[in-house]
Amino acid sequence: MKILDVLHKETILTDLKSKDKKGVLEELVAPVALISGMNSEDLVRVLMERERLGSTGIDGGIGIPHGKLKELDSLILGFGLSRKGVDFESMDGRPTHIFFLLFTPENSTGLHLKLLARISRILKDDVFKGKLLNAKDNDEILSIIKEDDEDF
């Protein structure tokens, strides 16, 4: 499976407006809720519960909010860019700019961990991150990810 197998153009947001964690999560969840038919408030609640365990804001301007849902049949992935950056309580204390949002079915722990690892690995590449940060639209984001997309 590749990242582009689960990332849909409609779930890519290239200009997040929110300035705080909950607002960003609400923005990221909106298109995912539409595609999945899930309630956006429920999705945000699952993410906020996960955030209470520890921030999913890792270092280097990256956030990978994620959660598991009983009602979900397959992986759902979203992407967002915050041009100005958001205080996402990252490990390095710096603003977060690049977000990958991940929801997986409750019983798919292996797949969940593989996708998290894959996303973390590609985001360690500064050239890749720079391209994402400078992308103008959804098509460009998809094209950049396609260049690096491998099975996980």
The catalytic residues are 66
- Note whether 97 and 85 are within 8 A (CB): yes
- Note whether 56 and 50 are within 8 A (CB): yes
Please report how the helices 21-36 and 40-53 are oriented relative to each other, as an axis angle in degrees rounded to 10. Answer: 130
- Note whether 81 and 13 are within 8 A (CB): yes
Copy the structure tokens of residue 91: 């490990």
Q: What is the DSSP string of 103-145?
A: EEETT-HHHHHHHHHHHHHHTT-HHHHHHHHH--SHHHHHHHH
